[in-house]
Structure formats: C-alpha cells, structure tokens
A = this chain, B = another copy of it.
Amino acid sequence: MLIISEPKEMQLLANNLRKEGKVIGFVPTMGALHQGHLRLIRKARKESDFLVVSIFVNPLQFEPGSDYNRYPRRFEEDRYKCEMEGVQAIFHPSVQNMYPEDFSTYVEVEGLSKYMEGEFRPGHFRGVATVVLKLFNIVKPHFAVFGLKDAQQYYIIKRMVRDLNLDIEIIPHETVREPDGLACSSRNEYLSEESRRQATALYKALKLGKEMIFSGERRSNKIKEEMKSFIKENAPTSKIDYVEIASTKTLEPVETVVDEILLALAVRFPEARLIDNFIINADEGYVLNEKI
C-alpha cells in the first residue's frame, strides 16, 4: 500500500493509472476510521481497480470554537485498517500541503448549504466543498463513495459535481450503525458512558418520526414536536440544535411531508454534537439510507 502526501505525486500516479485504463475509486475521510468508513471502503474496493483513501482532518470545515484540535488522529491504526481492507493508496497530506499561506479560493454551494448543518455550522459546507473539490482534483477518481449519515453533505457534493461538470460518479452508502442503533461517528468516542446511553434516543426519535409518516401523518410540525419531546425525555442532558424535515431536492424545510424528504436532527451532548437522519420515501414507505 502506498502512502502519498504530495498532491503532485498523487496526480502523477492517477494520470498513469488512467492511461492504463484503471478505474480509480476514492473514499475521502478525516481518519479515525470506524465501521462506517470500513463499509464505504469495502463497497469502493469492489468497484475499483485502484482504491485511494484520503486521511486529512480539514481545518477549513471546522468552524471557530469547534473540535478541530481534539479531533482524533491515529494514522498508524488507520493505515493498518486500510492495509487489511486491500486499499492501494492512502493520500495523507499536511495542512501546509493543502493550504499554502495565501490560499484564497473557495467553493460555495448556495441554497443547499443554507439550512440545518449550514445554519448551525456557518462556513462548514464551504470548507467541505472546497476540500472535496481539491481532493477530487488530486486523486482524479472515477467514482467516490460518501456515507449518508452526512446526508446534507452528500446532496451538496452531488450538486457541486453536477454544477462544476466533474466527471466523477458520487456513490451513496447507507448509514452504518452500532448494534443499538447509534450511527457510527468518530465523535461517538467523545461521549461519557451516560451520554452514550442517552444517545440511542437519536435513532429512536428518527424511528418514531418514520412510524408517524408511515402511519399517514403529513404535518411536519406535529412530527418534529413529537420527536423533540422524545429526545428531551430520553436524552435529558442533551440540547437539540434542530429536528428538521426538508425536501431532498432543495433541502428547504417543508410544512407537509410529500414524496421524498430528509428527516434530520442534530443534538449536543456535553461532550459532543451528534447528527443523524433518515431519507424517507413517504409515498412508497421506505428509508433510503437504510438500504443502499
């Protein structure tokens, strides 16, 4: 397995692979690899001749005062996991490599970045879109796999790829969960034992919302209020940033549940902020990110 830190070196490799007709797969990560990442890697492995995993904690997507400094970094463990999964190369640049001192170019995906995470983490999606575009230009993949736990990010990246004519297929992967339903996240390990126990309320609240929709409830406010009450009762030490129901086309909040909607929430525990969501097809009655 190759470990590459220089963008130019990665590009040279990608150019040669492409000339040989090899299919380059890509899984961008911030490291601290968990089961969620490993499932993405396995999916990408199957579809590629050469799989690149990037490990880069991107300062640009951490808003001021957030957990950039304490975000877990454990390269040796991640490297071992990638090796075991048959990854062909890790791209692992330094911050200086990615952001020279007078760096000044940013990508904005307007509209889709306005609500939910975009509202509570100003600048976050600008940082995500910018680094993902850079990584795409460096790794030159044919396809990239993104987990649907970060559903808003997925929609934003899809839009960016279409709008900027990137010749890259964006493949979604279902949300991977712990046995008790908590969505896998590198931030779960921040949680105290008590918070970890309460955190299962997020998944349960999503299931509650889903059941209401599948039972015919179409009033967003009604569903959101029930979910909030449930979280307040079952995760009393947490604070809710939002529980939202949004159109998957525009990510704008909707008053009435129709067609396909994103049911998303963000909750702050004393040690960590967690997000989770269901992409729900209300008409046909299934949860999209439980099955792809």
Contact = CB atoms under 8 A, between A and B. Distances in A.
Interface residues of A, number: 35
A183 to B, nearest CB: 27
Most chain B CB within a 10 A radius of its CB, from A100, A104, A112, A167: A104
B111 A106 contact: no
A21 interface: yes
A110 B106 contact: yes
Most chain B CB within a 10 A radius of its CB, from A19, A110, A137: A137
Contact of A159 (B105, B162, B250): B105
A112 B106 CA distance: 13
Contact of A163 (B21, B104, B108, B163): B104
A159 B11 contact: no
B164 A137 contact: yes
B164 A134 contact: yes
Interface of A: 7, 11, 15, 18-19, 21, 100, 102-112, 129-130, 133-134, 137-138, 140, 159-160, 162-167, 249-250
